[in-house]
Structure 1
Amino acid sequence: MGQFISITAADGHTFSAYVAGSPEAPHALVVVQEIFGVNHNMRAVADAWAADGFSVIVPALFDRVEPDAKLGYTPEDVQKGLALRADIPLESTLADLEACARHLREQAPERKVGIIGFCWGGRLAWDGATRTTAFSAAVGWYGGGIAAHKDATPHCAVQLHFGGQDGSIPPSDVSDIRKTHPEIEIYVYDEAGHGFGNRDRPSFNADAEHLARERSLTFLEAGLRTVGDIPERG
Protein backbone atom coordinates (compact mmCIF):
# COMPACT_ATOMS: atom_id res chain seq x y z
CA MET A 1 0.00 0.00 0.00
CA GLY A 2 1.16 3.50 -0.79
CA GLN A 3 0.67 6.95 0.72
CA PHE A 4 -0.07 10.50 -0.35
CA ILE A 5 2.65 13.15 -0.43
CA SER A 6 2.82 16.76 -1.64
CA ILE A 7 4.70 17.81 -4.78
CA THR A 8 5.35 21.34 -6.03
CA ALA A 9 5.41 22.10 -9.75
CA ALA A 10 7.69 24.63 -11.41
CA ASP A 11 4.92 27.25 -11.42
CA GLY A 12 4.54 27.01 -7.63
CA HIS A 13 1.39 24.86 -7.59
CA THR A 14 1.45 22.25 -4.81
CA PHE A 15 -0.57 19.11 -5.39
CA SER A 16 -1.17 15.73 -3.83
CA ALA A 17 0.35 12.57 -5.30
CA TYR A 18 -0.03 8.91 -4.41
CA VAL A 19 3.30 7.09 -4.17
CA ALA A 20 3.90 3.35 -3.99
CA GLY A 21 6.92 1.07 -4.19
CA SER A 22 10.44 1.44 -2.95
CA PRO A 23 12.14 4.77 -3.68
CA GLU A 24 15.14 2.66 -4.71
CA ALA A 25 13.22 0.39 -7.12
CA PRO A 26 15.06 -0.28 -10.41
CA HIS A 27 12.43 1.52 -12.49
CA ALA A 28 10.40 4.70 -11.98
CA LEU A 29 6.92 5.33 -13.36
CA VAL A 30 4.41 8.18 -13.44
CA VAL A 31 0.88 6.76 -13.62
CA VAL A 32 -1.70 9.18 -15.00
CA GLN A 33 -5.35 9.14 -13.97
CA GLU A 34 -8.55 8.84 -15.95
CA ILE A 35 -11.09 11.65 -15.56
CA PHE A 36 -12.11 10.25 -12.17
CA GLY A 37 -9.21 11.43 -10.04
CA VAL A 38 -6.81 9.35 -7.98
CA ASN A 39 -9.60 7.03 -6.87
CA HIS A 40 -9.59 3.41 -5.73
CA ASN A 41 -8.76 2.06 -9.18
CA MET A 42 -5.80 4.37 -9.78
CA ARG A 43 -4.33 3.55 -6.38
CA ALA A 44 -4.73 -0.17 -7.08
CA VAL A 45 -2.99 0.27 -10.44
CA ALA A 46 -0.11 2.05 -8.72
CA ASP A 47 0.18 -0.68 -6.10
CA ALA A 48 0.30 -3.35 -8.83
CA TRP A 49 3.11 -1.58 -10.68
CA ALA A 50 4.97 -1.16 -7.40
CA ALA A 51 4.69 -4.92 -6.85
CA ASP A 52 6.39 -5.38 -10.22
CA GLY A 53 9.44 -3.42 -9.13
CA PHE A 54 8.56 0.18 -9.99
CA SER A 55 8.75 3.30 -7.87
CA VAL A 56 5.37 4.81 -8.74
CA ILE A 57 3.78 8.23 -8.41
CA VAL A 58 0.22 9.21 -9.37
CA PRO A 59 -0.36 12.98 -9.46
CA ALA A 60 -3.75 14.33 -8.42
CA LEU A 61 -4.20 16.44 -11.53
CA PHE A 62 -7.61 17.77 -10.46
CA ASP A 63 -6.00 19.53 -7.47
CA ARG A 64 -5.55 22.59 -9.69
CA VAL A 65 -9.33 23.13 -9.70
CA GLU A 66 -10.77 20.84 -6.99
CA PRO A 67 -8.37 19.33 -4.44
CA ASP A 68 -8.94 15.70 -3.44
CA ALA A 69 -11.51 15.06 -6.16
CA LYS A 70 -12.18 11.31 -6.36
CA LEU A 71 -15.10 10.29 -8.54
CA GLY A 72 -17.09 7.16 -9.28
CA TYR A 73 -18.45 6.09 -12.67
CA THR A 74 -22.02 7.33 -12.81
CA PRO A 75 -23.10 9.58 -15.69
CA GLU A 76 -22.94 12.48 -13.24
CA ASP A 77 -19.37 11.56 -12.30
CA VAL A 78 -18.40 11.41 -15.96
CA GLN A 79 -19.80 14.88 -16.59
CA LYS A 80 -18.05 16.29 -13.54
CA GLY A 81 -14.75 14.71 -14.56
CA LEU A 82 -15.03 16.14 -18.05
CA ALA A 83 -15.77 19.59 -16.61
CA LEU A 84 -12.80 19.45 -14.24
CA ARG A 85 -10.50 18.36 -17.04
CA ALA A 86 -11.70 21.20 -19.26
CA ASP A 87 -10.78 23.76 -16.60
CA ILE A 88 -7.09 22.79 -16.52
CA PRO A 89 -4.73 24.10 -19.24
CA LEU A 90 -2.53 21.43 -20.79
CA GLU A 91 0.59 23.40 -19.89
CA SER A 92 -0.37 23.23 -16.21
CA THR A 93 -0.98 19.49 -16.35
CA LEU A 94 2.37 18.93 -18.07
CA ALA A 95 4.05 20.95 -15.31
CA ASP A 96 2.59 18.54 -12.77
CA LEU A 97 3.80 15.50 -14.74
CA GLU A 98 7.28 16.97 -15.07
CA ALA A 99 7.34 17.68 -11.33
CA CYS A 100 6.59 14.01 -10.67
CA ALA A 101 9.39 12.91 -13.01
CA ARG A 102 11.74 15.31 -11.25
CA HIS A 103 10.75 13.89 -7.85
CA LEU A 104 11.50 10.35 -9.01
CA ARG A 105 14.88 11.41 -10.41
CA GLU A 106 15.82 13.12 -7.16
CA GLN A 107 15.38 9.79 -5.41
CA ALA A 108 17.73 8.04 -7.87
CA PRO A 109 19.39 10.41 -10.39
CA GLU A 110 20.67 7.63 -12.65
CA ARG A 111 17.25 6.02 -13.02
CA LYS A 112 15.08 6.53 -16.10
CA VAL A 113 11.44 7.56 -15.71
CA GLY A 114 8.49 6.21 -17.68
CA ILE A 115 4.87 7.30 -17.96
CA ILE A 116 1.68 5.29 -18.39
CA GLY A 117 -1.81 6.74 -18.58
CA PHE A 118 -5.41 5.68 -19.01
CA CYS A 119 -8.24 7.50 -20.84
CA TRP A 120 -7.37 11.20 -20.27
CA GLY A 121 -4.08 9.92 -18.91
CA GLY A 122 -3.50 7.96 -22.11
CA ARG A 123 -3.65 11.19 -24.07
CA LEU A 124 -1.42 12.86 -21.47
CA ALA A 125 1.14 10.09 -21.82
CA TRP A 126 1.32 11.02 -25.52
CA ASP A 127 1.66 14.71 -24.61
CA GLY A 128 4.34 13.85 -22.07
CA ALA A 129 6.26 12.00 -24.78
CA THR A 130 5.86 14.68 -27.45
CA ARG A 131 5.78 17.97 -25.53
CA THR A 132 8.39 17.25 -22.85
CA THR A 133 11.70 15.42 -22.55
CA ALA A 134 10.95 14.15 -19.05
CA PHE A 135 10.30 10.51 -19.97
CA SER A 136 12.29 7.63 -21.46
CA ALA A 137 9.25 5.50 -22.37
CA ALA A 138 5.53 6.23 -22.64
CA VAL A 139 2.46 3.98 -22.71
CA GLY A 140 -1.11 5.10 -23.40
CA TRP A 141 -4.25 3.05 -22.84
CA TYR A 142 -7.38 4.17 -24.75
CA GLY A 143 -6.22 7.76 -24.94
CA GLY A 144 -8.77 9.85 -26.82
CA GLY A 145 -7.57 12.79 -28.89
CA ILE A 146 -4.17 11.41 -29.82
CA ALA A 147 -5.09 11.26 -33.51
CA ALA A 148 -5.71 15.01 -33.57
CA HIS A 149 -2.10 15.51 -32.47
CA LYS A 150 -0.58 12.63 -34.42
CA ASP A 151 1.88 14.89 -36.25
CA ALA A 152 3.78 15.59 -33.03
CA THR A 153 7.18 13.90 -32.69
CA PRO A 154 7.76 11.69 -29.64
CA HIS A 155 11.02 12.20 -27.74
CA CYS A 156 10.96 8.63 -26.44
CA ALA A 157 9.61 5.21 -27.37
CA VAL A 158 5.80 4.99 -27.27
CA GLN A 159 3.35 2.10 -27.02
CA LEU A 160 -0.42 2.56 -27.43
CA HIS A 161 -3.41 0.31 -26.61
CA PHE A 162 -6.98 0.69 -27.90
CA GLY A 163 -10.27 -1.17 -27.63
CA GLY A 164 -11.81 -2.30 -30.89
CA GLN A 165 -15.28 -1.58 -29.48
CA ASP A 166 -14.38 1.86 -28.10
CA GLY A 167 -17.17 4.15 -29.23
CA SER A 168 -15.18 7.28 -28.37
CA ILE A 169 -12.06 6.38 -30.41
CA PRO A 170 -12.98 5.32 -33.97
CA PRO A 171 -10.84 2.82 -35.90
CA SER A 172 -9.96 5.61 -38.34
CA ASP A 173 -8.14 7.43 -35.51
CA VAL A 174 -6.03 4.37 -34.76
CA SER A 175 -5.32 3.91 -38.47
CA ASP A 176 -4.21 7.54 -38.81
CA ILE A 177 -1.79 7.16 -35.91
CA ARG A 178 -0.37 3.96 -37.42
CA LYS A 179 0.19 5.63 -40.80
CA THR A 180 1.88 8.66 -39.25
CA HIS A 181 4.01 6.69 -36.80
CA PRO A 182 4.83 3.22 -38.15
CA GLU A 183 7.61 3.01 -35.56
CA ILE A 184 5.15 3.00 -32.64
CA GLU A 185 3.84 -0.22 -31.12
CA ILE A 186 0.04 -0.06 -31.39
CA TYR A 187 -2.30 -2.80 -30.19
CA VAL A 188 -6.06 -3.10 -30.69
CA TYR A 189 -8.15 -5.49 -28.58
CA ASP A 190 -11.07 -6.36 -30.83
CA GLU A 191 -13.59 -7.32 -28.14
CA ALA A 192 -12.70 -4.53 -25.69
CA GLY A 193 -14.34 -1.16 -25.21
CA HIS A 194 -13.27 2.09 -23.59
CA GLY A 195 -11.95 1.62 -20.06
CA PHE A 196 -11.23 -2.07 -20.59
CA GLY A 197 -8.35 -1.91 -18.11
CA ASN A 198 -10.35 -0.55 -15.17
CA ARG A 199 -11.56 -3.34 -12.88
CA ASP A 200 -14.13 -1.03 -11.28
CA ARG A 201 -15.93 -0.20 -14.51
CA PRO A 202 -18.57 -2.27 -16.35
CA SER A 203 -16.39 -2.12 -19.47
CA PHE A 204 -13.57 -4.06 -17.81
CA ASN A 205 -12.27 -6.85 -20.06
CA ALA A 206 -10.03 -9.26 -18.16
CA ASP A 207 -8.39 -10.83 -21.22
CA ALA A 208 -7.58 -7.50 -22.85
CA GLU A 209 -6.36 -6.00 -19.58
CA HIS A 210 -4.05 -8.95 -18.89
CA LEU A 211 -2.50 -8.91 -22.36
CA ALA A 212 -2.15 -5.12 -22.49
CA ARG A 213 -0.51 -5.09 -19.09
CA GLU A 214 1.97 -7.82 -20.01
CA ARG A 215 2.89 -5.90 -23.15
CA SER A 216 3.19 -2.65 -21.20
CA LEU A 217 5.37 -4.27 -18.56
CA THR A 218 7.75 -5.76 -21.10
CA PHE A 219 7.93 -2.46 -22.99
CA LEU A 220 8.60 -0.36 -19.90
CA GLU A 221 11.18 -2.73 -18.45
CA ALA A 222 13.10 -2.59 -21.72
CA GLY A 223 12.72 1.16 -22.21
CA LEU A 224 13.76 2.06 -18.67
CA ARG A 225 16.69 -0.30 -18.37
CA THR A 226 19.96 1.38 -17.40
CA VAL A 227 23.55 0.20 -17.38
CA GLY A 228 24.01 -2.31 -14.60
CA ASP A 229 20.35 -3.37 -14.44
CA ILE A 230 19.58 -6.98 -13.77
CA PRO A 231 18.58 -8.93 -16.91
CA GLU A 232 15.00 -8.65 -18.10
CA ARG A 233 12.67 -11.21 -16.59
CA GLY A 234 11.99 -14.62 -18.19
Structure 2
Amino acid sequence: MTTNVTIATLDGQQMPAYEEQPDGAPRAAIVVIQEIFGVNVGIRSKCDALARDGYLAVAPDLFWRMEPGIELDPDVPDQMQRALSIMGQFDQDGGIRDIEAAIRYARAAIDGGKVGAVGYCLGGRLAYMTAARTDVDASVGYYAVGVDGLLGEKHAIAHPMLLHIAGDDGFVDKEAQRRMHDGLDDHPKVTLIDYPGEDHGFATEFGNRRSDAAARQADARTAAFFGEHLG
Protein backbone atom coordinates (compact mmCIF):
# COMPACT_ATOMS: atom_id res chain seq x y z
CA MET A 1 0.00 0.00 0.00
CA THR A 2 1.39 3.36 -1.08
CA THR A 3 1.12 6.36 1.19
CA ASN A 4 2.63 9.81 1.45
CA VAL A 5 3.76 10.37 5.02
CA THR A 6 5.52 13.00 7.09
CA ILE A 7 8.49 12.26 9.33
CA ALA A 8 9.42 14.23 12.42
CA THR A 9 12.94 15.56 11.87
CA LEU A 10 15.60 15.89 14.56
CA ASP A 11 14.99 19.65 14.65
CA GLY A 12 11.27 19.28 15.21
CA GLN A 13 9.96 19.88 11.70
CA GLN A 14 8.00 17.67 9.33
CA MET A 15 9.66 16.06 6.29
CA PRO A 16 7.58 14.55 3.48
CA ALA A 17 8.32 11.00 2.38
CA TYR A 18 7.02 8.29 0.07
CA GLU A 19 6.20 5.02 1.79
CA GLU A 20 5.36 1.63 0.34
CA GLN A 21 4.14 -1.13 2.62
CA PRO A 22 4.32 -4.87 1.93
CA ASP A 23 1.18 -7.00 1.83
CA GLY A 24 1.98 -8.72 5.12
CA ALA A 25 3.99 -7.88 8.18
CA PRO A 26 7.32 -6.28 7.15
CA ARG A 27 10.40 -8.47 7.45
CA ALA A 28 12.42 -5.26 8.05
CA ALA A 29 12.47 -1.67 6.78
CA ILE A 30 14.67 0.04 4.20
CA VAL A 31 15.23 3.76 3.75
CA VAL A 32 15.66 4.56 0.04
CA ILE A 33 17.98 7.50 -0.55
CA GLN A 34 17.30 9.52 -3.68
CA GLU A 35 19.53 10.59 -6.52
CA ILE A 36 19.94 14.27 -7.36
CA PHE A 37 16.60 14.04 -9.20
CA GLY A 38 14.42 13.91 -6.10
CA VAL A 39 11.89 11.27 -5.12
CA ASN A 40 10.90 10.73 -8.73
CA VAL A 41 9.17 7.82 -10.44
CA GLY A 42 12.37 5.78 -10.46
CA ILE A 43 12.91 6.09 -6.70
CA ARG A 44 9.27 5.32 -6.03
CA SER A 45 9.63 2.23 -8.22
CA LYS A 46 12.62 1.13 -6.12
CA CYS A 47 10.40 1.41 -3.03
CA ASP A 48 7.67 -0.59 -4.71
CA ALA A 49 10.10 -3.40 -5.57
CA LEU A 50 11.40 -3.55 -1.99
CA ALA A 51 7.83 -3.76 -0.69
CA ARG A 52 7.18 -6.71 -3.00
CA ASP A 53 10.15 -8.38 -1.30
CA GLY A 54 8.49 -7.88 2.07
CA TYR A 55 10.14 -4.68 3.29
CA LEU A 56 8.63 -1.45 4.49
CA ALA A 57 10.26 1.05 2.11
CA VAL A 58 10.53 4.76 2.94
CA ALA A 59 12.01 7.42 0.64
CA PRO A 60 12.41 10.76 2.44
CA ASP A 61 12.29 13.91 0.32
CA LEU A 62 15.78 15.12 1.18
CA PHE A 63 15.43 18.33 -0.85
CA TRP A 64 12.37 19.44 1.11
CA ARG A 65 14.24 22.19 2.95
CA MET A 66 15.02 23.86 -0.39
CA GLU A 67 11.87 22.95 -2.28
CA PRO A 68 9.48 20.11 -1.45
CA GLY A 69 8.40 17.71 -4.16
CA ILE A 70 11.24 18.09 -6.65
CA GLU A 71 11.02 15.42 -9.38
CA LEU A 72 13.43 15.59 -12.30
CA ASP A 73 14.21 13.46 -15.36
CA PRO A 74 17.94 12.94 -16.07
CA ASP A 75 17.19 12.34 -19.76
CA VAL A 76 15.94 15.94 -20.16
CA PRO A 77 19.01 18.24 -20.45
CA ASP A 78 17.48 21.23 -18.68
CA GLN A 79 16.32 19.04 -15.81
CA MET A 80 19.74 17.42 -15.54
CA GLN A 81 21.34 20.84 -15.24
CA ARG A 82 18.84 21.85 -12.58
CA ALA A 83 19.61 18.65 -10.65
CA LEU A 84 23.33 19.41 -10.71
CA SER A 85 22.64 22.92 -9.47
CA ILE A 86 20.46 21.61 -6.63
CA MET A 87 23.16 19.15 -5.62
CA GLY A 88 25.58 22.05 -5.25
CA GLN A 89 23.20 23.76 -2.82
CA PHE A 90 22.28 20.66 -0.84
CA ASP A 91 23.47 20.44 2.79
CA GLN A 92 24.73 16.85 2.96
CA ASP A 93 25.37 16.89 6.70
CA GLY A 94 21.81 18.09 7.21
CA GLY A 95 20.66 15.39 4.82
CA ILE A 96 22.23 12.74 7.03
CA ARG A 97 20.35 14.09 10.01
CA ASP A 98 17.13 13.82 8.01
CA ILE A 99 18.05 10.26 6.99
CA GLU A 100 18.61 9.47 10.67
CA ALA A 101 15.11 10.75 11.35
CA ALA A 102 13.80 8.46 8.61
CA ILE A 103 15.65 5.50 10.16
CA ARG A 104 14.07 6.26 13.54
CA TYR A 105 10.65 6.56 11.91
CA ALA A 106 11.06 3.26 10.04
CA ARG A 107 12.35 1.42 13.11
CA ALA A 108 9.38 2.59 15.18
CA ALA A 109 7.00 1.55 12.38
CA ILE A 110 8.27 -2.04 12.58
CA ASP A 111 8.36 -2.17 16.37
CA GLY A 112 12.11 -1.82 16.77
CA GLY A 113 13.15 -4.19 14.00
CA LYS A 114 16.11 -3.88 11.67
CA VAL A 115 16.46 -0.98 9.23
CA GLY A 116 18.64 -0.83 6.13
CA ALA A 117 19.44 1.95 3.68
CA VAL A 118 20.04 1.95 -0.05
CA GLY A 119 21.09 4.96 -2.10
CA TYR A 120 21.92 5.89 -5.67
CA CYS A 121 24.40 8.47 -7.02
CA LEU A 122 24.29 11.26 -4.42
CA GLY A 123 22.23 8.77 -2.42
CA GLY A 124 25.09 6.27 -2.68
CA ARG A 125 27.42 8.79 -1.09
CA LEU A 126 24.82 9.50 1.57
CA ALA A 127 24.43 5.75 2.17
CA TYR A 128 28.15 5.60 2.96
CA MET A 129 27.84 8.59 5.30
CA THR A 130 24.77 6.98 6.87
CA ALA A 131 26.75 3.79 7.51
CA ALA A 132 29.44 5.84 9.27
CA ARG A 133 27.22 8.24 11.21
CA THR A 134 24.05 6.35 12.21
CA ASP A 135 22.98 3.03 13.70
CA VAL A 136 21.58 1.70 10.40
CA ASP A 137 21.81 -2.11 10.36
CA ALA A 138 22.99 -2.54 6.75
CA SER A 139 23.53 -0.20 3.82
CA VAL A 140 24.04 -0.32 0.06
CA GLY A 141 25.40 2.37 -2.25
CA TYR A 142 25.10 2.35 -6.03
CA TYR A 143 27.74 4.35 -7.98
CA ALA A 144 28.40 6.52 -4.96
CA VAL A 145 30.14 9.81 -5.73
CA GLY A 146 33.07 11.16 -3.75
CA VAL A 147 33.53 8.25 -1.34
CA ASP A 148 37.29 8.46 -1.82
CA GLY A 149 37.11 11.81 -0.03
CA LEU A 150 35.27 10.27 2.92
CA LEU A 151 37.67 7.46 3.76
CA GLY A 152 38.56 9.17 7.02
CA GLU A 153 35.13 8.09 8.29
CA LYS A 154 35.52 4.40 7.46
CA HIS A 155 36.53 3.46 11.01
CA ALA A 156 33.01 4.36 12.15
CA ILE A 157 31.27 1.85 9.84
CA ALA A 158 30.12 -0.81 12.28
CA HIS A 159 27.53 -2.67 10.22
CA PRO A 160 27.66 -4.35 6.79
CA MET A 161 27.91 -2.16 3.71
CA LEU A 162 27.87 -3.04 -0.01
CA LEU A 163 29.09 -0.64 -2.70
CA HIS A 164 28.32 -1.20 -6.40
CA ILE A 165 30.98 0.55 -8.52
CA ALA A 166 30.44 1.42 -12.20
CA GLY A 167 33.72 0.73 -13.96
CA ASP A 168 33.34 3.53 -16.51
CA ASP A 169 31.56 5.99 -14.24
CA GLY A 170 31.59 9.48 -15.74
CA PHE A 171 31.41 10.99 -12.23
CA VAL A 172 33.85 8.64 -10.45
CA ASP A 173 37.06 8.23 -12.42
CA LYS A 174 39.45 5.28 -12.35
CA GLU A 175 41.76 6.94 -9.85
CA ALA A 176 38.90 7.59 -7.45
CA GLN A 177 37.82 3.98 -7.82
CA ARG A 178 41.38 2.83 -7.04
CA ARG A 179 41.42 4.96 -3.89
CA MET A 180 38.10 3.44 -2.83
CA HIS A 181 39.53 -0.06 -3.21
CA ASP A 182 42.79 0.84 -1.51
CA GLY A 183 40.93 2.36 1.41
CA LEU A 184 38.10 -0.14 1.82
CA ASP A 185 39.07 -3.56 0.48
CA ASP A 186 40.45 -4.61 3.85
CA HIS A 187 37.51 -3.21 5.83
CA PRO A 188 35.76 -6.11 7.59
CA LYS A 189 32.30 -4.63 7.11
CA VAL A 190 32.54 -3.23 3.56
CA THR A 191 32.25 -5.10 0.25
CA LEU A 192 32.99 -3.44 -3.11
CA ILE A 193 31.77 -4.96 -6.38
CA ASP A 194 32.95 -3.62 -9.74
CA TYR A 195 30.87 -3.55 -12.93
CA PRO A 196 33.39 -3.18 -15.78
CA GLY A 197 32.21 -1.08 -18.69
CA GLU A 198 29.16 0.26 -16.88
CA ASP A 199 28.46 3.96 -16.51
CA HIS A 200 26.93 6.04 -13.75
CA GLY A 201 23.23 5.34 -13.27
CA PHE A 202 23.31 1.86 -14.79
CA ALA A 203 20.76 0.51 -12.29
CA THR A 204 18.16 3.23 -12.71
CA GLU A 205 14.65 1.86 -13.12
CA PHE A 206 13.83 3.89 -16.24
CA GLY A 207 15.50 5.91 -18.95
CA ASN A 208 18.57 5.98 -21.13
CA ARG A 209 21.08 5.30 -18.37
CA ARG A 210 19.80 1.83 -17.52
CA SER A 211 21.98 -1.15 -18.44
CA ASP A 212 19.54 -3.99 -17.90
CA ALA A 213 21.81 -6.99 -17.36
CA ALA A 214 24.09 -5.16 -14.93
CA ALA A 215 21.12 -3.59 -13.15
CA ARG A 216 19.51 -6.97 -12.60
CA GLN A 217 22.78 -8.43 -11.36
CA ALA A 218 23.37 -5.58 -8.92
CA ASP A 219 19.80 -5.65 -7.65
CA ALA A 220 20.00 -9.42 -7.10
CA ARG A 221 23.15 -8.92 -5.05
CA THR A 222 21.45 -6.18 -3.06
CA ALA A 223 18.47 -8.44 -2.38
CA ALA A 224 20.77 -11.22 -1.15
CA PHE A 225 22.73 -8.76 1.00
CA PHE A 226 19.62 -7.39 2.69
CA GLY A 227 18.22 -10.91 3.05
CA GLU A 228 21.34 -11.92 4.93
CA HIS A 229 21.72 -8.85 7.13
CA LEU A 230 18.13 -7.69 7.67
CA GLY A 231 16.24 -10.96 7.44
The two structures have a TM-score, normalised by structure 1, of 0.91
Q: Distance in 2 between matches of 1:142 and 1:35?
A: 13
Root-mean-square deviation over aligned CA pairs: 1.4
Question: What corresponds to 2:42 in structure 1?
Answer: 41
Question: Which residue of the other structure, out of 163, 168, 191, is the alignment partner of 2:166?
Answer: 163
Q: Distance in 2 between matches of 1:127 and 1:75?
A: 29
Quick check: 1:11 aligned with 2:11? yes
Q: Distance in 1 between matches of 2:110 and 2:50?
A: 18
Question: What corresponds to 2:117 in structure 1?
Answer: 115
Quick check: 1:99 aligned with 2:132? no
Question: What corresponds to 2:81 in structure 1?
Answer: 79
Q: Distance in 2 between matches of 1:201 and 1:173?
A: 26
Q: 1:91-130, CA deviations, whole angstroms, 9 ceiling, x for partnerless residues?
A: 2211210111111111223311100000010000001001
The letter for the 2-side match of 1:86 is G
Equivalent residue pairs, number: 224
Deviation, 1:24, is 3.2
Query: What SS is found at the alignment partner of 1:91?
Result: helix
Q: 1:6-27, CA deviations, whole angstroms, 9 ceiling, x for partnerless residues?
A: 1120112312100012383011
Q: Distance in 1 between matches of 2:40 and 2:184?
A: 33
Question: What corresponds to 1:228 in structure 2?
Answer: none
Question: What corresponds to 1:129 in structure 2?
Answer: 131
The letter for the 2-side match of 1:34 is E
Q: Distance in 2 between matches of 1:5 and 1:212?
A: 29
Q: Distance in 2 between matches of 1:19 and 1:80?
A: 26
Deviation, 1:90, is 2.0
Quick check: 1:180 aligned with 2:186? no
Q: Flag structure 1 segments of 5+ consecutive residues without an equivalent.
A: 226-234
Question: What corresponds to 1:190 in structure 2?
Answer: 196
Identity, % of aligned pairs?
A: 31
Query: What SS is found at the alignment partner of 2:123?
Result: helix
Q: 1:153-210, CA deviations, whole angstroms, 9 ceiling, x for partnerless residues?
A: 2121110001112111112222212221223211111131110011322121001101
Deviation, 1:35, is 0.6
Q: Distance in 1 between matches of 2:105 and 2:210?
A: 32
The letter for the 2-side match of 1:165 is D
Q: 1:12 to 1:87 in 2, by over 3 A?
A: farther
Query: What SS is found at the alignment partner of 2:126?
Result: helix
Contact 2:28 2:110 (C-alpha < 8 Å) held by counterparts? no
Contact 2:29 2:110 (C-alpha < 8 Å) held by counterparts? no
Query: What SS is found at the alignment partner of 1:168?
Result: coil
Contact 1:11 1:95 (C-alpha < 8 Å) held by counterparts? no
Contact 1:129 1:158 (C-alpha < 8 Å) held by counterparts? yes
Query: What SS is found at the alignment partner of 2:63?
Result: helix
Q: Distance in 2 between matches of 1:84 and 1:203?
A: 20
Which has the higher mean CA deviation after the structures are superposed, 11-20 or 114-123?
Answer: 11-20
Question: What corresponds to 1:151 in structure 2?
Answer: 152
Q: Flag structure 2 segments of 5+ consecutive residues without an equivalent.
A: none
Which has the higher mean CA deviation after the structures are superposed, 37-46 or 13-22?
Answer: 13-22
